[in-house]
Chain A
Amino acid sequence: MRSRLLLLGFGIAMSIAPGAFAQNVAPVARPSKPYVRGAIPTPVSPAAPGAIPPTARPVAPAVPSAPIVRPRPVAAPAPLIPMVPAPAPAPVPAPRPLIPMVPAPAPAPRPPVPTFAAPAPAPAPTPIATPGTVARPSRPRFPQRPVPVQTRPAARPRRMLPAQTHDGPMLAERIDPNVVQGADVFDEPETPASNGPFRFALSFGGSSLVVDPDMEVGIGGGLELAAWLSRRFGLELSAFGSQNAYKEGLGDTGIAFWVVNVTLGPTIRLTSPSSEWLVSLDGVFGGYMVISPLQESTWTTGIGGGITIGKQLTRWMSVGIRARYHVFNISHLSGPEIIDIKALRPVAMVDRLEVPAYVAFHF
């Protein structure tokens, strides 16, 4: 029974979050033998003073005579790291860091980079052009965003350099050589944003009839289904039920005030969609069912709004907290008029603040 449940759970998880389980699978399409184990040159001596330690960015030996080609999917099929050195290779300098912090002393003259316009003849900072990398004419003040790579799968965990791993060569083999090595490694967030436009959340937390002195703070729970229609805008369908006990005399009876609302409303994301944090403003409108101990249930209309703050834990799951303020019994939909159980009088508009925590699943 337990193993069946595990299998069922695994199947459901695979169906809703394929990216979560595919992240460690190596790319299928791969250039022929892009890398030979041990071919990554291990620097034997430190580079110029002030340079990044060479273990951070292992690069292939530079081939000055080879044209520098910006890596694209349609690039020439020539191997990026040739197995056989090109004829008449230039003297191979010692491996250097990809982005030197300080220009290397004695820079060697290098051909202009055709990719970039305005090749300034100024000799100073020496970009090191290596196959599979994009040389930069000068060191920008701030790191530039990496060039988007089409061959990269959408869901990919943070990639580590071989030198940073205990099994570096094995991971290095998984690195797509078409990817601009080293340029974007450190720009990836540790926890990526969700990869689906839908979110299903379960919430549970406190609720309070804010201004009613006769009501205790209660509890409630619900579920919601949200869909992002664009990067910043989405719609959310939610159902939430809460119960608040009475204070003082009626508190001994165990009678509680129950409200269940089914609402639909817009949600506006304030944070970047790629951020691991979600901050959104929400508005709701819908039906509010009041369950009375004296009468049949009554459906009324109501509105509400609030804020949601969440953090992405994985690509398919996030947690957070939500604060939402409702005003209901604005108009009557069905059922008898709501009667106050304390003074037996008709009830006007009622408010409620709910602050539940939630766990959400993205797909």
Chain B
Amino acid sequence: MSRFTSRLASVGLLLLSACGDLTVTNERPAFEDLSVPEKSVVERVLNELTAFNQQVEMHTEYNVRTILDRQKIDVSFTGLILVANLGDEIVHISAWENLSTKQQALIQTWFGATTVEETRQFYEFFFYRFFVIGQGAKQFMYESSSVEWVYLNRSLYAVERDSTQLALTYFQNDAAAIALMDRGCAQVRKRYDAKYRAGFELKRPEADQYFLDNARSLLDPKEPTGYIYYVCRWIERGKGLLDSMNGELDWLGGLSKK
């Protein structure tokens, strides 16, 4: 009987191990194991974050060096349109090469691009530059106010809006970047106003609650069309609120000290 039990247990363990590692967390591949396009994306992201960190160190007592590491930039996942910095010192950015054809076509639709090359141009600016600065801005919030404080005291809406505003401030003197943003966002607003305008134009705090309640659909990594609409509207609204990098970082870094 005991022999039977031990054999049964062994077979069961073998079956379980064959089906997976039974975990809900996986390990990311190291930078050395990435493909050439992925390594290229990591380098571009790292350069952008390094430039942003210089601004942060110049104007504040903080820095975002914790994410200035090739191993901390995750671009290896596939099939998701995602930019994220959850507070674990990892920046997730989707690489263009890892998107499905359907997702690339969706991005082309967002910006009204006529060719794949034009779509890629939009994508590389927004995802490899603008959103990267946004993730750096979030890291600045975590460094200056702590991850716990941000999660407890700031709404998801506020964090995303403020990181977009800081990224806009960062690029405000780059005429080519501003022109590209205006062109792409005009198409986004034209296509998706009917669907997302009512939710976006709610007054706070209703807007915060609406964004949180609908976060899973707005930020759906398979099709984050709603999030792109919100970013474009925040850019449009933020142009009237532009400040210097010093003023913006000072305001954002002092939130938890008030």
Contact = CB atoms under 8 A, between A and B. Distances in A.
B16 A349 contact: yes
A340 B26 contact: yes
Contacts of A342: 25-26, 28, 88, 90
A342 B23 CA distance: 11
A339 interface: yes
Contacts of B80: 339, 344
A294 B220 CA distance: 7
Contacts of B65: none
Contacts of B16: 327, 349, 351
Contacts of A327: 16, 22
A254 B24 contact: no
A336 B221 CA distance: 10
Contacts of B151: 252-254
A294 B22 contact: no
Given A209-B24, A211-B21, A351-B16, A336 B222 contact: yes
Given A296-B216, A349-B19, A343 B147 contact: no
Contacts of B19: 330, 348-349
Contact of A249 (B26, B74, B88, B216): B88
A349 B88 contact: no
B27 interface: yes
Interface in B49-87: 74, 76-77, 80, 82, 86-87
Contact of B25 (A212, A253, A336): A212
Interface in B1-27: 16, 19-27
Given A211-B21, A215-B25, A348-B19, A343 B77 contact: yes
B44 interface: no
Interface of A: 209-215, 246, 248-250, 252-255, 257, 294-296, 327, 330, 336, 338-345, 347-351
20 contacts: A209-B24, A210-B22, A212-B22, A213-B25, A215-B23, A248-B88, A252-B147, A254-B148, A296-B216, A330-B19, A340-B24, A340-B25, A342-B90, A343-B27, A344-B82, A345-B26, A347-B23, A347-B24, A349-B20, A350-B24
Interface of B: 16, 19-28, 74, 76-77, 80, 82, 86-90, 92, 146-148, 151-152, 216-217, 219-222
6 closest pairs, A vs B, by CB? A348-B20, A249-B88, A344-B77, A212-B23, A252-B147, A214-B25
